Amino acid sequence: MKNIYLWWFGLSIIMLFGEAFTFTSVFLVLGFAAAITGIIVAFIPDMDVAYQLFLFSILGAIGYPVIKGILKKRGYGKDTTGDIDTSLKNSPSGVVKELDAPGRSGTVRFNQQFLGDKQWKFISSEPLDINDSVSVINIEGNTLLVKKE
């Protein structure tokens, strides 16, 4: 079949769009596996479809733990959904990076991801200064309620 590599590239695009809607790394890995398979098939156009599927499967099987390891090393592998109370108990300390006028709100930055991000807007019941260390006591909408440590 002529230009079968285009089907692999199309599958890759579909998988990467799927990743955008599912937020898992499964479609990301399969999208990369389909793209790499398409590149190889472009250079070896007479490759049998069975070998192409085998190559795609092997690339996906090898790629999944590799991508998961890379994402985990960068702090994206932590479970940040579900039980908010557990997330609050295990919340890391943050450092105040920006303050709004009265010093009771601004932006706090964490060394590791907390609920999907390293930087959050915060509100405090006490005045804070830049570089103060704070801990999270609650979440109100998309704003953290913090206290000085």
Residues 100, 61, single domain; the answer is: no
Per residue in 52-67, pLDDT (tens digit) is 999 999 999 999 888 8
Whether residue 65 is found in the same domain as residue 91: no
Q: Residues 9, 65: one domain?
A: yes
In a domain, 69, yes or no: yes
- Confirm if 63 and 33 have CB atoms less than 8 A apart: yes
- CA nearest neighbour of 100 among 135, 124, 68: 124
- Same domain, yes or no: 65 and 88: no
Residues 68 and 89 in one domain: no
- The domain boundary, picked from 15, 40, 73, lies at 73
Higher per-residue pLDDT: 101 or 36: 36
Q: Where are the beta strands (DSSP E) in the chain?
A: 94-99, 105-114, 117-124, 133-140, 143-148
Looking at the structure of the chain, the number of domains it has is 2
Answer yes or no: do 24 and 67 share one domain.
yes
Instruction: Write out pLDDT tens, residues 116-138.
Output: 788 999 999 898 989 999 989 88
Which residues constitute the domain of residue 110? 84-148
- Whether residue 108 has pLDDT greater than 90: yes
pTM, to two decimals: 0.53
Whether residues 113 and 140 share a domain: the answer is yes
Task: Catalogue the long-range contacts made by 13-21 (C-beta closer than 8 Å, 24 or more residues apart).
Answer: none
Q: Which of 40, 73, 106 is the last residue of a domain?
A: 73
The set of long-range contacts for 28-35, using a CB threshold of 8 Å and a minimum separation of 24, is 28/67, 29/60, 29/63, 29/64, 29/67, 30/60, 32/59, 32/63, 32/67, 33/59, 33/60, 33/63, 34/8, 34/9, 35/8, 35/9
142 and 88 in one domain?
yes
